[in-house]
Amino acid sequence: MRPCDPLLHLERAFRAAISKVSGNDPASIDPQVKASADPRHGDFQCNAALGLAKALQAKPREIAERIAAAVDLHGLAETPEIAGPGFINIRLSTEALAGMLSDLDGPELGIAPAPLPHAVVVDLCGVNVAKQMHVGHLRATIIGDVVARLHERLGRKVWRENHLGDWGLPIAMTMASLRRQGRDFDRLTLEDLNTAYRAAQLEARTDEAGLAAALSTHAGPHRVAELQAQSDSAGAAERDAKATLLKLQAGDAATVRDWQRLIDVTMKEVLATARTLGVKLTAEHSRGESFYRDRLGPAVDAFLKAGLAKEDDAAIVVPFADRERPMLIRKGDGGFLYATTDLAAVRFRVQELDGGHVIYVVDARQRDHFKDVFDAIRLIGWDRLPDGSRAELSHLAFGSVLGKDKRPLKTRSGENYTLAALLDEAVHRGVEQVQRRAAEADAPTHGLSQAELHRIGAAVGIGAVKYADLSGDPVRDYVFDLDRMIAFEGDTGPYIQYAHARIASLIARSGESEPAIIGSAFHPVEPAERHLSLCLLRFPGVVLGAAEQLAPQRLCAALHELANAYAGFYQDCPVLKAPDAATRLARLRLSRLTRRVLAEGLGLLGIDAPERM
RNA sequence: GUCCCGGUAGCUCAGUUGGAUAGAGCAGGAGCCUUCUAAGCUCCAGGUCGCAGGUUCGACUCCUGCCCGGGACGCCA
């Protein structure tokens, strides 16, 4: 497969030319070729001359002249022009553009396989057993899914790891609480679990602190007695929970069965939500905290043995040379912490899953935590792969989802703000819009079945929510505003879906056969055609860049730009009513290729691309 | 207190790792459907890129200090 990215061709040509002019080794030269922001400056520009001026003791413009004279752009571009202080502006020839479009229009859409020697591990979703998914999980799930898809698309082995919170005291508390209530574990819903979880949390929190405060503020005897009773019952509940946890840890058959039941109930809903979201997450991707339970003790021992951990106040901590804050890996009572689990998990992922790049898609507030974990892993050398090379460890941190009051969108007591409810609303709004449009007699969706309209509406509503989340810098907090997300205007998922659907119906209406369209030649000559072509040719590089930079927003931006370029083309260049047959076919082929790239790009974002809308 | 992350148009946000006159979308103003989907297109208006220094031929981008907002800081996960 020939590279269809013009940048690669231009970089090679300019690297050679700059080498001739400067005498430097071509391999060490950064040709500084970039796409031009303004079409008046050509399609691409080479900025290398500006930086070379000092070393070569000449005016930048003069160097630019020399580079322009030395560069061989035969068959690729027109004669370059020098502009400004020393920019070299390049305009691709129509033939080169057409040729590269043909190359792009192959089965792989120009995306060259970029395999890695090791697997990529993506930690995503991260739900907890017995808890409803909320908007925070949306980000960990869909951003992780896109990162996984991007790497898969580049031909890499990807492990999706749903590190589910299925172990520890909170689960035991929930289980104990349900058992005390005499609940039938075969008839539980996630809502039941969630209620029990919250009740158990609340029970445990009714605390000695409150009692102490009451005593010190000389509260009335009645109040003190009340708190005393609560504290006693909390103590009883806690003892019960701890006993349950011990039974679970010991493998008590009935307890394990009930525990598995809690997981099943939770996962049933998580997987249903994943399906609604169009996220590739199934049961096989679950590897919860419980999986690591027998590796926690050995992990701590290894740190102690290596002299990297020490006892402090009865707990075991890993100190770091460059900061005060140590990492706690074992509690004073001998219990383990989430840091311990993460150490074991990273070790497993690197050494047993052969993960050359382990990516954690987790809330930004856990930055310090992951810094500690990764540093500790490097200290003990658990980032070493079976072949001896070192794994890259990344925390793809995302910001909080805020409410309109700019405060973190949290579940208030009694008020359920679940992800499922939110997605229902998005689907509802999408379906509403699609139905409204389908009612118009000349709409392409007119006459479709209700089931079909619902399917399209769901794609639109979900696409809007996902695009809104994915199109920004993950690290920033964002305000969750459903109204804005599903306005379906401007830089939104539906805008891109619309561009795609428009092309699909355009091609359908053309009456041309696939072979006729594919067999025709690209001929991008109009400004709108050229602009669209350049956007298309950028796609393979964008996919690679988005994967390497862990930046879904770059793919979103490129797709929006592409959809926008198509809208401009659609406006300026009649396709079905083109001036002649050859132009008609050439434009159909350009449209078809655009449709393919949009579908592919939306697919990488996990967003459906309906044929009609 | 220490550390981390943000600050770009009235609002919500991009900005391809240092390049030409900082871009979109909402909201506001003016146009475009008896020609392929108006979920669209074109034009107008809107900016001391938090502030001040520094590095550089060139800074929203890199460095330092400060201001504002948010977050994390040993026995929860």
pLDDT in tens, A325-357: 999 999 999 999 999 999 999 999 999 999 999
* Statement: residue A396 has pLDDT above 50: yes
**Token pair listed for A111:** 């995306």
pLDDT of residue A210: 47
Distances from the Cα of A518 to the Cαs of A206, A539, A562, A593, A595, in angstroms? 71, 20, 20, 9, 13
Topology (CATH level 3) of domain A468-604: Isoleucyl-tRNA Synthetase; Domain 1 (1.10.730)
Alpha-carbon distance A481 to A603, whole Å? 24
Separation of A382 CA and B5 C1' (Å): 28
pLDDT of residue A136: 84
* Statement: residue A88 has pLDDT above 60: yes
* Statement: residue A212 has pLDDT above 60: no
Percent of chain A at pLDDT > 90 equals 78
pLDDT of residue A197: 87
**Strand B, CB < 7 A, residues 548-567 of A:** 549, 551, 553-554, 557, 560, 564, 567
What's the burial of A436, exposed, middle or buried (CB within 10 Å: 0-12/13-18/19+)?
exposed
* Statement: residue A1 has pLDDT above 70: no
Residue A300 binned pLDDT confidence (cut-offs 50, 70, 90): very high
pLDDT of residue A231: 60
Q: Report chain A's mean pLDDT, rounded to a whole number.
A: 91
Does A345 contact strand B, using a CB cutoff of 7 Å?
no
**Strand B, CB < 7 A, residues 462-491 of A:** 471-473, 475-479, 484, 487-491
Mean pLDDT of A85-93: 94
Q: Say if A119-165+280-302+339-398 and A468-604 have the same CATH topology.
A: no
Distances from the Cα of A96 to the Cαs of A6, A76, A82, A99, A272, in angstroms? 9, 5, 21, 5, 48
Burial A62-79 (b: 16+ CB within 10 A, else e): ebbbbbbeebebeebbee
pLDDT of residue A486: 82
Taking the C1' atom of every nucleotide in all shown strands and the CA of A557, the nearest one is B14
pLDDT in tens, A361-370: 999 999 999 9
pLDDT in tens, A481-517: 888 888 889 999 999 999 999 999 999 999 999 999 9
Report the Cα–Cα distance between both ends of chain A, in Å, rounded. 35
Separation of A464 CA and B27 C1' (Å): 20
pLDDT higher at A524 or A401: A524
pLDDT higher at A240 or A260: A260
Does A340 contact strand B, using a CB cutoff of 7 Å?
no
**Strand B, CB < 7 A, residues 238-277 of A:** none
Residue A84 binned pLDDT confidence (cut-offs 50, 70, 90): confident
CA gyration radius, chain A: 30
Does A515 contact strand B, using a CB cutoff of 7 Å?
no
Q: Any idea what the Cα angle at residue A60 is, between residues A59 and A64, rounded to 5°?
A: 120
Please report the ipTM that was assigned to this predicted complex: 0.95
Nucleotides of B under 7 A from a protein CB: 2-6, 12-17, 19-21, 23-27, 35-37, 39-42, 57-58, 70-77
Strand A310-312 to A315-320 pairing? antiparallel
Mean pLDDT of A53-77: 92
CB neighbour list of residue A398: distance below 8 Å, 6 or more residues apart: A139, A140, A143, A361, A362, A363, A364, A474, A475
Q: Which of A414, A418, A416, A450 is nearest to A435 (CA)?
A: A450
Percent of chain A at pLDDT > 70 equals 93
Neighbours of A188 (CB within 10 A): 19
Q: Which residues pair with A162 in a beta bridge?
A: A286
* Statement: residue A223 has pLDDT above 70: no
Least confident of A178-192, A232-246, A284-298, A379-393: A232-246
Mean pLDDT of A221-238: 63
Q: What 8-state DSSP symbol labels residue A410?
A: -
Q: Please give the full DSSP string across A97-133, using - where no structure is assigned.
A: HHHHHHHHTSTTTT------SSEEEEE----BTTS--
Q: Which of A73, A123, A179, A174 is nearest to A398 (CA)?
A: A123
Q: Any idea what the Cα angle at residue A258 is, between residues A254 and A259, rounded to 5°?
A: 115
What's the burial of A454, exposed, middle or buried (CB within 10 Å: 0-12/13-18/19+)?
middle
Alpha-carbon distance A305 to A326, whole Å? 17
Alpha-carbon distance A4 to A540, whole Å? 8
**Token pair listed for A370:** 């992951």
Q: Any idea what the Cα angle at residue A573 is, between residues A571 and A579, rounded to 5°?
A: 140
Residue with minimal CA–C1' distance to B32 is A571
* Statement: residue A413 has pLDDT above 60: no
Q: Which residues pair with A363 in a beta bridge?
A: A398
Residue A39 binned pLDDT confidence (cut-offs 50, 70, 90): confident
**Token pair listed for A324:** 């005060």
Tell me the domain boundaries of chain A: 6-92, 119-165+280-302+339-398, 169-250, 468-604
* Statement: residue A113 has pLDDT above 70: yes
The answer to whether the CB of A482 falls within 8 A of the CB of A422 is yes
pLDDT of residue A53: 87
Separation of A400 CA and B70 C1' (Å): 10
Torsional sign, CA A152, A155, A156, A158: positive
Taking the C1' atom of every nucleotide in all shown strands and the CA of A50, the nearest one is B57
Q: Which of A417, A412, A404 is nearest to A479 (CA)?
A: A404
pLDDT in tens, A476-488: 988 888 888 888 8
**Residue A342 backbone class (left: φ over 0; alpha: ψ -120 to 50; beta: rest):** alpha
Backbone angles phi, psi at A386, to 5 degrees: -50, -30
Q: What 8-state DSSP symbol labels residue A3?
A: -
Least confident of A174-183, A206-215, A418-427: A206-215
* Statement: residue A206 has pLDDT above 60: no
A212-221 contact pairs (CB < 8 A, 24+): none
pTM: 0.94
Residue A225 binned pLDDT confidence (cut-offs 50, 70, 90): low
Mean pLDDT of A29-39: 91
Alpha-carbon distance A420 to A273, whole Å? 7
Secondary structure of A442-472 in HEC code, one letter for each residue: CCCCCCCCHHHHHHHHHHHHHHHHHHHHHCC
* Statement: residue A290 has pLDDT above 50: yes
Mean pLDDT of A229-255: 83
pLDDT of residue A208: 46
pLDDT higher at A241 or A546: A546
**Secondary-structure class of domain A119-165+280-302+339-398 per CATH:** alpha beta
pLDDT of residue A232: 61
pLDDT of residue A209: 46
Residue A414 binned pLDDT confidence (cut-offs 50, 70, 90): very low
* Statement: residue A42 has pLDDT above 60: yes
pLDDT of residue A233: 65
* Statement: residue A216 has pLDDT above 70: no
If one looks up domain A6-92 in CATH, what number appears? 3.30.1360.70
